[in-house]
Every structure is written in C-alpha cells, then in structure tokens.
Homo-oligomer: A and B are copies of this chain.
Amino acid sequence: MTDSAIDDTVTDSDLAAALRAVLDGRWGSVRDQARDELADSSWLPDPSLTMQEARDRVLGQLQVLAKAGVPKPGFTPQQGGTGDVGASITAIEMLGYADLSLMVKAGVQWGLFGGAVAGLGTERHFGLVPGLIDLSVLGCFAMTETGHGSNVQQLETTAHYDAATEEFVIHSPTPSSRKDYIGGAAEHARVAAVFAQLITAAPGAEPEDRGVHCFVVPIRDDAGADLPGVTTSDCGYKGGLRSVDNGRIMFDQVRVPRTALLNRYADVEPDGTYVSPIENDNKRFFTMLGTLIRGRVAVGAASGAASRKALTIAIRYGLGRRQFEDPSTGDESLLLDYRMHQRRLLPLLARSYAFALRQNEVVAELHEVQSSTEVDQVRQRQLEAEAASNKAAATWHSADAIQTARECCGGAGYLAANQLSTIRDDHDVFTTFEGDNLVLTQLVAKEQLTAFAEEMHGLNAAGWARFVADTARSTFLEKSAARQIVQTLLDDSDENFEESELTKRGVQLRMLGEREDHLLRSAAQRMRRANEPDEDAFEVFNNAQDHIIAVGEAHAERVALEAFVDALHGMEEAPAKDLLRRVCDLYVYATLEKHLSWYLSYRMVSVERAKAIRRGVNELCAELRPHARTLVDAFGIPEELLATEMPLS
C-alpha cells in the first residue's frame, strides 16, 4: 500500500527494538525491570494445582512482588510509597504476560483495597498503608453485591451511625445485599473496604441516607476465622482465575468505630452531623468513584498484555506449523501463509498495536491527573470517560484476540501446556469486572452528549434522555483536546473524503471521526423525543441504546488511531517507522471493513471503495506477513513466559 519498501539492510532485531521503544513508552524502564524479574517460567500458572494449592501459591508470589517493591509506586511518599502512578499501573500490566490470576490478586490488594484506603481515606487511615504494601494487612474491596453489580448507587448494605457509641453499624439487610464475587473475601482478606449506604442523624433530626460511602471493616481474625457478625463464604470454582479466592460477605450488625469511614470526601462528626466539602450527593458519590479509576485502567492494561501474548504464541506457532501441500515447493505450507490465517491474526495484531499505544496515553493521563495537586474536574471527568471506553474496547478486543489465537493453534491451542486456554479462561471475566463493558461503553456517549454536565451524574436512563432533550447541547462536536498533529493532518485532507486517497492519514482520521460524530448526532436526535408528550423517556433511551453503544466503540477506535498517529509523528524517519505505518494502515482498513455496512448505509463509502477496503486488508496482511515475527518480538515478552509444549518458531 505504502510506496516505499521497508529498508532490508536493517536487521529484524533492530527493527523489533525500535518498535519496542515506541510501544514501551514513558515507563519503558519499569517494563524492562519487570522483564528481568519475570523472566522465569515459574511465574506461569500451573494447571495441575488444586484450587487451594493455587490460592496458596499466588499468595507466595504476591509476597515476592511485595519484597521487590512492586506496590510502592502506587502510594505517595506521605503514605509510605514512592508516588509514581504510571509506574504502578505499568508494573501491574506486565504481570499480564505472566499470570492474570496474580495480576488480579495484586490489583485487588494494592489497586482496589489499597487504592480505596489511599484515595478515599485521610491521614488517620494512612497508618494502614505500610501494612497493606508489605502484606501484613491483607484486604479486599467489598463493593459489588449479589443484587447490584453495575448499579453501585443502589447498593443495599447499610452503615447506620450510632452517636451513643460513636460507631457505625454495618449491616446486610437482605439476601441481595450480600457482598459477592469479592476477590480475597473467600480466604485471604482480614480487612474489607466496604461500600454501604451511610445513614446518620444530626442532633435532633431524623436519620438520613447520605448515599454510598466506604468503610474499613475487619472481617477475619489472625487465624482466618470470621469475626463476630461477619459471615464469609466462598464463590468456589470459576471459569478461570483459579488462584483468586473470590467470596461473599454478610454483615449482621457489625460495629466499627466512627473513624472507620474513609473520610476524604465526607465525614460524620461525633454527634452524628454529616459534613462534606462536596454539597451535592451525586457529585460526591461520583467523585469518590472517580478516585477508584486506577483499577479500571489497570484492567485494560493487563488485558492488552494478555492478548499480545496470545497473539505472539499463535503467530509464532503459525510460522512453524505446516499443513497441506504447497506444490511450488513440495513442502506443506506454513499456516501463516494461508490468507485466512493472515486475515484472522494480523488485523488483530494491528489493533493490539493501536490499543497498546492508546493504553499508554490513558496511563499517562491518569498519572498526570492523580499526581497533580490541583483538581481539574473536567479533566477528571474526561479521564473517567476515556478509561471506561478504553477498558471496554481493550477487553473486548483481547477476548476476541485470545479466542482467535486459541482456534488458530487448533487442538494444540486447547492444551493447558500451551497456555492459550488458561489465558482465555482467566481473561474471560475482564469484559465484566471493573465495570461491565456494555455499561461502560455507554458512558462516553452519555458524557459527550451532555458535554460533561455535572447534573448528568446520577440520572437514570429516562432522566438522562430528558436532560439531553432539554439541553440539546452541540458542544459535543468539538473534540476535546485536539492534538496538533491530528489537526494538521485533518486540515491537509480533503473534506470530501470519498474522493481522497484512502491511504492518506488525514482521510483515515476523518473517516473514523465522522463515524463517531454521526452516531453521536443521531443519538442526540433520538433523545430529543424524550420530552415530547406521550413519549416514555425510558423507551426513548432504550430504543437508542444500540446507537449509544456504537458511539462508545467508535470513540475508542478513533482515539486509538489518534494515539497511533501521535506515536508515528514522534518517530524519526527510519525503517521501523515505515513498518509501523503499515500496521497503522491495517488497523484503519480492518476497522473500516468491520463497519463497512455502516459506511455504505450512510453513503460515506461507495461500493467501489468498499471493495478497495477489503482488498486493502488482504494486501496489507500480505505485506506484513514477512514481518510478523518482528512485530510480535517488539512486544518484548520474556521468552521464559512463552514456554509452550508445542514448538514456536
């Protein structure tokens, strides 16, 4: 597709190294350190262990990570850490190359439990941090309930304040209020960060429900027995993540001191008076939730690592495995020489590149926002929307890539000794936890349609539809924080993209951007009905739900392309850049092909161009085929973690 051939005087390993530098990004040194530490196949999951053995083992591995100082960057120096958020996420991401169970265990202890204490607590709680860093305090993150996963505002667990004793009473009033699927709750955790409806009465007033807050609640004694009033149980066997001890917790009038409330955003005074620097309940709730965004970003990151590993295994297998005769050579053909095999794997590889580059940007933005002493609310809200859209898009992509990798290795792919089936099992729930992908994907559209209006938070579907109908803002069309290089490329490209060269980056940007804008406009248009008489606002929302989901997906794909463009822009002209350009082209062509019926339906692509797009995917696959090994080597996955029984080329 591109005119210039890739300079073949450069060695493949030089090419891979140059690409790796781009993919590694700002926290490359953290990645290299992790590569050294993880370069041992003993980090890989062992399918022969019983559930109990696997749980014991992962705790031991966690201790190794703790000793190596892995958790420290996630906490501020004041709290006993080293204060490097980006490094902390990157280290967790790298665990995705080894064992997703270990990644989840680490994420629960340091990211979710630790993140709640460090992010929602104040000085009075930070004494816990050294212990949770060195694992003398094992914790869990008790948010989800049997009845409420996605709808956190409706959690049922209560925390009644008792001014007489200056205690909160934590209670599970119904079967559906049981905390459920909680990593660590089945066995290891001694303390839980419990999300519950805070109910308190100011002196002389009636008790009032102040919404969901987080409390530090001891659940087990040192010997591991449930504390009085606490009943834990085990979620048992799961579709994967065998080492993670997911469990349930019921509270029967469990008393904790007033100071157990993580009181950064709200507190209860000894007499029961509720105080908060944030007046609006919804705003406070969503500010608290926003603090916890790190887990979501880490899940997207580790998911990306898992899919890069799966693709690496499948592509290297396909470069060695032969099947059916190629008469021109007399040998059988390599799997990766078949067009269908290329078409199955290489567009996913290109998408992995795009999403990895975008993931790095989200991590960097998280780092900036959470390292800053000033609070920029719009920036925080934008980051939340980006993290949501990115998590959903990344984990859906990874689920697809991992499954395809398994299938492309046939029966060998099904054996645990070849890792893919374990990666698939462990990864499966990534599309669900830390925010169900469908729910998260809607967030982008909702935020954009209301231009990040504060009032939007806490509205239900119908209320939100009515809000959009009322305000009918058009600001959403101005893309936030447009990048210089993207703007330049857009300006250089013809607005009439149907007649422009599809190989031009500006045209590509325009096509992906136009899809997002168009979907957004049509969602807005549909919402306008919500305030018409005789219209049920929930119905109006529901009838547009498929559009709203499509916006979120289109958004993730557009910003990933922009991240790709930015990364290319930062490279000097060299063979690695030529190669990466084609990977970017394949990402774009495959994305256009995926949505071809949409582009054709809205006449943004002619029938002729549609055929050119399909052809383009084929041609780019063929062009990248000779570089497939280089492209996966660029991920820099330690060879020890690619240990398989089947031979990899």
Contacts and interface: CB of A to CB of B under 8 A. Distances in A.
A267 B523 CA distance: 71
Given A47-B236, A432-B414, A597-B600, A149 B425 contact: no
Nearest to A436: B410
- The oligomer's copy count stands at 2
A187 to B, nearest CB: 16
A406 B597 contact: no
Given A151-B324, A324-B460, A596-B601, 8 more contacts: A48-B237, A180-B411, A236-B417, A239-B414, A326-B462, A339-B542, A340-B546, A421-B425
Contacts of A416: 236-239
Contacts of A327: 460, 462-463, 537-538
Q: Which 4 A-B pairs have the closest CB atoms?
A: A239-B421, A596-B597, A237-B416, A47-B237
B238 A325 contact: no
A332 interface: yes
Given A151-B332, A236-B47, A410-B436, A538 B460 contact: no
Interface residues of A, number: 77
B543 A339 contact: yes
Contacts of A227: none
Interface in A127-173: 144, 148-151, 154
Contact of A601 (B238, B432, B611): B611
Interface in A96-128: none
A536 to B, nearest CB: 6
A460 B428 CA distance: 38
A238 B462 contact: no
A276 interface: no
A342 to B, nearest CB: 9
A239 B403 CA distance: 11
Which of A180, A415, A462, A549 lies at the interface centre, i.e. has the most chain B CB atoms within 10 A of its CB? A415
Nearest to A421: B239
A50 interface: yes
A87 to B, nearest CB: 30
A415 B238 contact: yes
A235 interface: yes
A545 interface: yes
A138 to B, nearest CB: 22
Contact of A240 (B421, B536, B600): B421
A327 B465 CA distance: 12
A405 to B, nearest CB: 12
Interface string A393-419: 000000100010011001101111100
B323 A150 contact: yes
A52 to B, nearest CB: 11
Interface of A: 47-48, 50, 144, 148-151, 154, 180-181, 235-240, 323-328, 332-333, 337-340, 343, 399, 403, 406-407, 410-411, 413-417, 420-422, 424-425, 428-429, 431-433, 436-438, 460-463, 536-538, 542-543, 545-546, 549, 593, 596-597, 600-603, 607, 610-611, 618
A421 B238 contact: yes
A324 B446 CA distance: 15
A618 B544 CA distance: 10
A206 to B, nearest CB: 22
8 contacts: A148-B323, A181-B411, A326-B461, A411-B429, A411-B432, A413-B432, A543-B618, A597-B600
From A181, A414, A424, A538, residue with most partner B Cβ within 10 Å: A414
Contacts of A238: 414-416, 421
A463 B144 CA distance: 60
Contacts of A403: 399, 403
A545 to B, nearest CB: 4
A543 B536 CA distance: 52
A144 B407 CA distance: 17
B154 A332 contact: yes
A504 to B, nearest CB: 22
Contacts of A340: 438, 545-546, 549
Contacts of A154: 325, 332
A411 B425 contact: no
B546 A618 contact: yes
A182 to B, nearest CB: 10
